[in-house]
Amino acid sequence: MTEETLKHILLECPFAWVAWAVLNLSWQRIHRWTKGAAAWFSSTLQQLGKEDGAGFLMICWALWQNRNRRRKEGFVQDPQAAVGWIFFCLLDVAARGYSWGTCSF
């Protein structure tokens, strides 16, 4: 069994692979994990535009939430259902009139 590290949860887990693939963010732009989580978040956000950056953060948050629910509640969610929820959240934010440049997460 793979050790459950932050890197595993966000990049190496098959659940994460599905989430990243369905949301169609460039794997080449997000897969480089160097010098820990803070450096990875910073460098990835610098490479992505505002909209892709918002999607990237939502995916990370959803993956972490999924991990917590699995560990604490025994709830196992289908990756595509999680991605559907991410899309819903992003559309909800946009429908409320926020632009990615003014919305703070």
**Could you tell me the pTM of the whole model?**
0.73
Q: Where are the domains of the chain?
A: 6-95
Residues 74, 82: Cα–Cα separation, whole Å: 16
pLDDT tens per residue across all 105 residues of the chain:
556 899 998 988 888 888 787 767 666 777 788 788 999 999 888 888 777 787 788 888 888 888 888 889 888 777 777 777 777 777 777 777 765 444 433
Which pair of structure tokens corresponds to residue 82? 């999680």
DSSP-based helix, strand, coil % in the chain, nearest 5: 70, 0, 30
